[in-house]
Amino acid sequence: MLALNLPKTELKVITKDGKQQVFDVLRRRFVALTPEEWVRQQFVHFLIGHKGYPAECIGNEVSITLGATKKRCDTVIYGSHAEPLMVIEYKSPSVEITQKVFEQICRYNIKMRVEWLVVSNGLQHYCTRIDYENGTYQFVEDIPAFPFIAH
């Protein structure tokens, strides 16, 4: 797989029935190794190993209902009272981060109402902090370490 703009992480990768799978430490099972999954797994290890996020506060493939449709947030970070704090959307490294990607994560946030939105294709990472009180948002340079987002 492609080297990403994240600290190098050794992931458990196996081949089963001719297809590669990667071990997801959060779901505690092997999942299909797609380019987007490669980004997710590297990013989750970055959050845990470099930003201090406790694994038990991170959920992958979190289901939500938007109107009559069911959607899945790629990753959700929860606070100490199980409240969602951050939603992360991953794309394959070959997918450009566009306005459409931000619109997708913003739709998820209608339901989640988190303070932090992150979009990454493994090469580029964008992090936004939302200020609901003032109706504004601000892009920040770096993904915050866990103590700074936990209320």
Does 8 reside within a domain?
A: no
Q: What is the pLDDT of residue 131?
A: 93
CATH number of the domain encompassing residue 117: 3.90.1570.30
Does 25 reside within a domain?
A: yes
Mean pLDDT of 6-17: 94
Q: What is the mean pLDDT of the chain?
A: 92
Residue 127 pLDDT greater than 80, yes or no? yes
Strand, coil or helix: 27: coil
- Per-residue pLDDT reduced to its tens digit, 17-76: 999 999 999 999 999 999 999 999 999 999 999 999 999 999 999 888 878 888 889 999
Mean pLDDT of 76-104: 93
144: confidence class by pLDDT, cuts 50, 70, 90: very high
Does 84 reside within a domain?
A: yes
Does 6 reside within a domain?
A: no
Does 95 reside within a domain?
A: yes
Residue 151 pLDDT greater than 50, yes or no? no
Does 4 reside within a domain?
A: no
Sequence-distant (6+) residues with CB within 8 A of 35 are 1, 2, 92, 93, 94
Mean pLDDT of 92-114: 91
Q: What is the pLDDT of residue 71?
A: 85
Does 1 reside within a domain?
A: no
For residues 46 and 33, what is the distance between their CA atoms, to the nearest angstrom?
18
Mean pLDDT of 89-94: 96
Does 30 reside within a domain?
A: yes
Domain span at residue 102 reads: 13-149
pTM (predicted TM-score): 0.92
CB atoms within 10 A of CB 143: 22
Mean pLDDT of 74-95: 94
How many domains in the chain?
1
Strand extents, DSSP E, the chain: 13-16, 19-24, 29-32, 58-66, 69-78, 84-90, 116-120, 125-131, 136-140
